[in-house]
Amino acid sequence: MKRKLYYVVEKELNNIDGNEEATGFKSISLYDVQEGAIIPFGTINDVENTNKSTDAIEEYLTDNGYGDEEFELKQL
């Protein structure tokens, strides 16, 4: 059975004289749910908006020792 991992994508913005402008990057926050509690799992910063979020998450998981586990990714 695949382990569920939840994620939130937030576009990075710069505030210039009260105006928000997109930087071209996004941050991805990862969460696990254990016994009904939401547990922060990790954060991926400075992902280019043109890159698929799921690809960035899979790379993060591999780089952090979770490459052998199977995950079901759910965007919140």
Of the CA atoms within 13 Å of residue 53, those in its CB half-sphere come to 18
pTM: 0.88
Report the CATH architecture of 3-75.
2-Layer Sandwich (3.30)
Other residues' Cβ atoms within 10 Å of the Cβ of residue 59: 14
Digitized pLDDT (tens) for each residue of the chain, 76 residues in all: 789 999 999 999 999 998 999 999 999 999 999 999 999 999 999 999 999 999 999 999 999 999 899 999 999 9
Angstrom distance (rounded) from CA 41 to CA 32: 6
Q: Which residues pair with 71 in a beta bridge?
A: 3
Distance of CA 21 to the CA centre of its chain: 21
Domain ranges within the chain, ordered by starting residue: 3-75
